[in-house]
Amino acid sequence: MDRRTATDLSSLVFDHGRAVDKWSGIAEAQGRKTMTKQEALEIATAFRDRQGYETTIDAGTDARLYDSMEGVTGAAWVIEAPLPPSTIEGTNTITYVVSVVEKRVEYIINSSGFIKRPDELDMGFSDDELDELREMGFDVLD
């Protein structure tokens, strides 16, 4: 049986808090960044607004912090934001993967489960694609 007093336990909790603070300082000194859930949600919201997605992101949105994530350097927040109800099959969510180090959305996982990076979301045509369309006889506006 543990015979520590309340004072001993309180001291232990205080020491643990200092250890956590010390670890955070070490992490910052080593270049490991930290990010709160709120900051991650704000980054995902700004990305959503730029892309025109209709997901709901607020303080109650499911967000988890992982030490590592495929395709991300360092830690990442994974935010699952619900989509409006739809008759199209899928998960009814878009998952935003926010890099703690880069402080940006590295990629999304769409409602069909496909990974899309921000540079893949541009729906415009490249110059080569426009030239190919012209060669095929299409009238292309620049």
User: Phi, psi (5° rounding) for residue 124?
Assistant: -75, 165
The dihedral over CA atoms of 34, 102, 98, 26, expressed in degrees to the nearest 10, equals: -20
> In this prediction, what percent of the chain has a pLDDT beyond 90?
39
Burial 50-60 (b: 16+ CB within 10 A, else e): eeebebebeee
Mean pLDDT of the region 116-142: 73
pLDDT band for 3, please (50, 70, 90 cuts).
low
The model's pTM: 0.63
Tens of pLDDT, residue by residue over 95-108, are 999 999 999 999 99
Tens of pLDDT, residue by residue over 9-40, are 444 444 333 333 344 444 444 445 689 999 99
Mean pLDDT of the region 133-140: 76
| CA-to-CA dists, residue 141 to 122, 129, 132, angstroms | 17, 12, 13
Is residue 108 within 8 Å of 95, Cβ to Cβ? Answer: yes
